[in-house]
Structure 1
C-alpha cells in the first residue's frame, strides 16, 4: 500500500510539473502574441501620448535606412493620397538633375507671372514669389522642403524639363517604377491636384482632378533612395526655420511643419526630416527620418484623423515618435563581422570587407555561407525586392592561401629566372672581357723560350663556358638560383 501511494504521488508530481511547464510556455507565447498584436494606437498611448482611435493612422511602416529592412508595418500597401509627401519625388528629380550637371544649386530661376499668381492662391501652401525676380535653386529647395511651397515645386519642375509640365509628371512615374514603387501613380508634381492651380499649372494630357496615389511602403522606398543617393536632402528638411533670399528685398522666413524636429512641439531626438503632407482626401500624413548613433530609421504615417480636424496635424507626430521609439529601443545597425579572417559554419574564411547589418538588440545573428557571399537571417524582410539584404563577399582561407602561395612561387620563379639569366649573361660577358684583357697584356716570349701560361685567358674561357653551360641548363631544367 505504501509503495502504491508513493507511485501515485510521483505520478501526480510529474503531471503537476508538466502542467506548470505547459502553462509557462503558454504564457510566453501569449506574451509574444500580445506584443505582435499590439497596434500603433496602443504603442502610442503606452508611450504617454494622448490620442484615440479617431486619429489612428490608416497605414504605417518603419524601415532601417541603410539596409531597407522593415522593422514595423501596419497596412503598408494601402493605396493612399500622400498629399505633399509627393514633393519628395520632385526633390529627387531635382537632385538627380544637379548630379547630372544640368544645373547647380546657385542656378537661378526667373519667376513668371504664372508663378506669382500661383503663390497668391490662398488654398495652397506657398511662399511669396515675385514675377521677374531670380530665385536660386537652393532657396527654392528650402521653400519646397521646409514651407511645402507648391509654387517653388512647380518652378523647379519646370527648370528640370525646360517648362514641359507633362514631361515632369512622366519622369516622376518612370522614376517610381525604376525605384520599385509598384503601387504609385503621380498626376502632379506637388501633391495638390492641378485643378486647384486655377489654370496656371496644367500638365497637358494629365487628369486635372486626380490625386496622386502611393502607399506607405512605396514612400518608404522613395525616402530610402533619396537619403542613400542624395544624403544632402536632410540639409533642406532639418531646419525648423530658415530665411531665403537673404539680403534682398524679397527675403522671407520659412517655418517647418515637421513638429518632430528638435525644438518644436513634438521634438524628437535625432529627427532631421523628411516631409509632411495633408489634404481633404488624404488626411494628415508624415514621412520622417531620425538618426541615433549608427542607426538611421525611416517611417511613413498615412491617414491620421480627418482634414476637418486640424488636431491631426499634431497627432501624426505622436504616432511617428512612438513607433520610432519602439524601433530604436528594439533594433540597432552595427558592424557584425570585421574584414579579414573569420570562422563561419566551421569554415575558415576571409571577408573582403566589414559586414554591417541591423539586428535585434542583445542578440547574435547566425551567419551563412552561400556561393561567395556571407549572409545572415535577422527575421526581417526587405521593403522592396529591388533592395538587397546585407552581405559581403568571402574566400575560403585555405584556397586563398594556397592561391597566394602558388602565386608567390610563380612570381618567385619568374624573379629567379630573370636573376639566373642575368648571372649567366654576366659570366659570359666577364669571360669575354678577361679573354680580351689577356690579349691586351700579352707579352711576347723571348726567342727560343717556351710560351708562358696566361691566367687571364684561362679565366676568361672558364667564365664564358660556365655562362653558356648554365644558360643551357636554365633553358632545359629551370633556374639554378
Structure 2
C-alpha cells in the first residue's frame, strides 16, 4: 500500500481545518450525491482539462444513442494534426490523413488528456468544435449545472488553439464551480459507469508504440497511488491552476472529490488525499430510519366514508445517510402530509389503497451543517398507507348519517336538560 492510502486509525484533521491549499474543494457520496464537505464550492473558477468530462459524457451519450460507435473511424485533418504537435500541450500525436477509431481517441483524451483527440471527437459528433461547444453548454443546463461556461471542448486557453478557437475571446477559458464539477462527475460515472474502465488505465499503450502515463497520479502504480482510486480527471492551465476530480471506492463506499486551483501538481493530489482520508475516517453509512417507520403520535390518519375510520401510515423504505462517527442520533424527523389528499376537515377520503403515497418524512440534523445533495435532492422518504381502507357501502354510510343525526339531537337535548339544573 502506498504511503498515501488511507489506513484505519490514521489521524485526520477536523472538517473545518483540513489544511487544504486548494482554493475550492468538495466531497460527495458517489452513489447518492450527498455532500459531506465543501470549501468555496460555489466559487466560479477555471477548470482546464476537467472540461473533458463533459466531452466524455457527450461521447458516451452519442454512442448509447447510436450516433457514433467505438470502432468508427475518424480521419485526422490538418488542424487536428497541427494541434497534436503543438509544444507544451498534452497530446498523443495524430497523423494527418490517418484513421483512428473513436475508442483510440477517447482513450487518448481520458487517460493522457489529449487535446487534439478531444477536438477530433468534437468535430465527429457536431461537425465542428463550435457546434460542439454549443452542445456542451446545452447539456450542462440539462444536467443541472448552475455556474458554468464552455468556450472550447478541451479546456485549453483559447490562445493555445492555434488561432482557431471556436467561441469566446482569444484568452477565454472554461469555468465552473467545484459543486458543478462534482455534479458533472457524478452524472458521468452513474449514467455511464463504463467510463471508469478507461479512466482507471494507469498507462496507455498507443498505436505509435509509446506508453503514456495517466495524469491522475493517484491510480495504482503511480506516484500518489491511493487504494481504490479508479478515476477521474485532472486539469491545469495558468489561469485555472491545478485541479483534480477523483473517484475512489473502498469496501463498497464510493466518494467523488474535487480540488480546484491548487498551486502545483503535487499539491492537488496531496489535497485529494486529505479529502479521501477525511471521508473514510470520519463518515459511515448508517440506517437513520428503518423501513415501515411510524412517527410517534402520528401512526394513523382519520378516514371518512371508509369501512374503517382510520388508516395506519408508515415510511415506504429505509433512509440511509453518511453520518459522522457517533452521530447517528443527531437527526430529527418531520412528517408532511399531502394536503391534496385531505378534505376540508383534514381527513382522508376512502377508498385508500395499501402503498398509496400520502406524504413524506424529512430528515434534518439537530445540530451542525447540512450540505444537502449535489443533485438537489432532499433527505426524505415517502409516507404510504400501510393497509387498504375500502369505501363503505351506501347502507353503512346511511346508518352512520342517521346515527350522527340522532347523536347530534341527543347531545342538544342533553345540553338543554343540563341547563335546567
TM-score, normalised on structure 2? 0.75
More strand by share: 2
C-alpha distance in structure 1 between counterparts of 2:209 and 2:383, whole Å: 56
Equivalent residue in structure 2 for 1:395, among 364, 381, 384: 384
Gaps of 5+ in 1: 1-33, 42-55, 306-311, 410-481
C-alpha distance in structure 1 between counterparts of 2:158 and 2:14, whole Å: 44
Equivalent residue in structure 1 for 2:336, among 362, 370, 375: 370
Q: How far did 1:375 drift? A: 3.1
Q: How far did 1:71 drift? A: 1.3
SS at match of 1:223: helix
Q: 1:366-411 CA distances to partner (integer Å, 9 max, x unpaired)?
A: 4443332233224522354x521243323132xx2435xx79x9xx
Equivalent residue number for residue 124 of structure 2: 159
Q: 1:10-42 CA distances to partner (integer Å, 9 max, x unpaired)?
A: xxxxxxxxxxxxxxxxxxxxxxxx94642424x
8 Å CA contact 2:364–2:370 kept in 1: the answer is yes
C-alpha distance in structure 1 between counterparts of 2:316 and 2:14, whole Å: 39
Equivalent residue number for residue 155 of structure 2: 191
Paired residues in the alignment total 342
Q: 1:284-305 CA distances to partner (integer Å, 9 max, x unpaired)?
A: 1111111122321111111111
C-alpha distance in structure 2 between counterparts of 1:154 and 1:354, whole Å: 46
Equivalent residue number for residue 277 of structure 2: 325
Q: List aligned pairs for 1:111-150, cutoff 5 A.
A: 111-150=76-115
Q: List aligned pairs for 1:391-430, cutoff 5 A.
A: 391-397=380-386, 400-403=387-390
Equivalent residue in structure 2 for 1:288, among 246, 255, 266: 246
Please identify runs of 4+ aligned residues in structure 1 that moved more than 6 A: none
SS at match of 2:38: strand
Q: How far did 1:202 drift? A: 3.2
C-alpha distance in structure 1 between counterparts of 2:313 and 2:248, whole Å: 36
Matched, 1:260 2:218: yes
Q: 1:135 to 1:338 in 2, by over 3 A?
A: farther
Q: 1:54-90 CA distances to partner (integer Å, 9 max, x unpaired)?
A: xx21111112222222211112222211111111111
SS at match of 1:343: coil
Q: 1:388 to 1:136 in 2, by over 3 A?
A: same
Q: 1:98 to 1:82 in 2, by over 3 A?
A: same
Q: How far did 1:361 drift? A: 3.1
Q: 1:396 to 1:320 in 2, by over 3 A?
A: same
Equivalent residue number for residue 360 of structure 1: 324
8 Å CA contact 1:67–1:390 kept in 2: the answer is no
C-alpha distance in structure 2 between counterparts of 1:105 and 1:391, whole Å: 40
**Structure whose CA Rg is larger:** 1
8 Å CA contact 1:290–1:298 kept in 2: the answer is yes
Equivalent residue in structure 1 for 2:137, among 169, 173, 188: 173
Task: Name the stretch that deviates more: 271-280 or 68-77.
Answer: 68-77
Q: 1:127 to 1:67 in 2, by over 3 A?
A: same
Equivalent residue number for residue 381 of structure 1: 371
Equivalent residue number for residue 54 of structure 2: 89
Equivalent residue number for residue 70 of structure 1: 35
8 Å CA contact 2:364–2:379 kept in 1: the answer is no
C-alpha distance in structure 2 between counterparts of 1:216 and 1:96, whole Å: 23
Q: How far did 1:129 drift? A: 1.0
Q: How far did 1:157 drift? A: 0.8
C-alpha distance in structure 1 between counterparts of 2:266 and 2:322, whole Å: 30
C-alpha distance in structure 2 between counterparts of 1:327 and 1:344, whole Å: 31
SS at match of 2:389: helix
C-alpha distance in structure 1 between counterparts of 2:65 and 2:84, whole Å: 29
Equivalent residue number for residue 309 of structure 2: none
CA RMSD of aligned residues (A): 2.4
Matched, 1:221 2:183: yes
C-alpha distance in structure 1 between counterparts of 2:276 and 2:123, whole Å: 36
Q: 1:123 to 1:238 in 2, by over 3 A?
A: same
8 Å CA contact 2:294–2:315 kept in 1: the answer is no
Task: Name the stretch that deviates more: 61-70 or 267-276.
Answer: 61-70
8 Å CA contact 1:86–1:212 kept in 2: the answer is yes
